[in-house]
Structure 1
Amino acid sequence: MGITGHRGLSAQVERAVRDAFDDELRKYDPAELLGVSCIADGPDAWFAEAVLDSGGRIEVVVPAEQYRDGLPDSHHPTYDELLAQAAEVHHTGMRASTAQAHMAGSEILVGLVDRLVAVWDGKEARGYGGTADVVAYARRTGVPVDVLWPDGATRD
């Protein structure tokens, strides 16, 4: 199972999303649970943490060599911890952390999973490689997408 989702969500939305992840992951045998994530701040990391907390394993996709540098400094310890726990790490081979690299990473992620969970408000992407683009790519390639968007949630 893979994850894509909006960053910059409020603490209230975070709680609802984390609860939804926990509810969903309880349906799976931990021995067979594998989550794939780019582990950015927000839903990517929350999902990876939930998978590990459920007894599952994670694989990480690193979109670019400079990807971590583009994430908030406050997220670096979480990113490093999750990366260290990955059963496998996949790379795009790109250096710069650009929208193209992010989309390439998402395409690798979608190619690795049987199902994609999208923390998505249903709106168009604000830039190439955004959540809407990842959802569209998954749907084009036949990967089922489960949209998770809490009632009343908004994003910045």
Structure 2
Amino acid sequence: MKTKLYPTLLIITIILIISSCTTYSPLPYDYKTSNSIDGIYLNDPCINPFGDYKLWQFIHNKSSLDKDSLRVSLIQIGETELQAKLLDGDKIVAEKILKVKIKEDSCYYTRRKFYVIPILPILFVFSNSQKRFVIGEKSLLLERTVNSGGAVIIMANGDKFSDSWEYKKSR
């Protein structure tokens, strides 16, 4: 009996792995004017229709630092990495290297994060997320797409959403 389930589980797993994230919204015209991400950005969003998420929370989601004077420095290192530093004045509080992919639309995409949590041999949940950094003239637009769901042999439930925040460039 167990050997009959393995091909089904393999097919479902392959389908979920190759599934793509929710598509991003089209870029506003004024965000295509600059292609250099290097700069220091405010940690608090200036436009936050989906909640007050700090820029550093997206870069390092386990961070609990919350101070009004914090800034985030982003510097491109080579073709596939961004160096992010959390600054308090001139002091570096934290640092992280992000693996990114630069596409022809002058946007920086983080690697997709795909999780499958098997609960039983035929029951599991998944989450697929990705972030995009869009460079504006005086701001940084961060977009996040997520699709998640669960399956019991066939797809049982799913959810897709895309949200965005804008962060002002301070220098």
TM range (shorter): under 0.3
- Answer 1 or 2: higher relative contact order, Cα 8 Å, separation at least 6: 1
Q: Structure 1-normalised TM-score? A: 0.27
Higher CA-based Rg: 2
Structure with greater strand percent: 2
TM-score by length of 2: 0.26
Higher helix share: 1
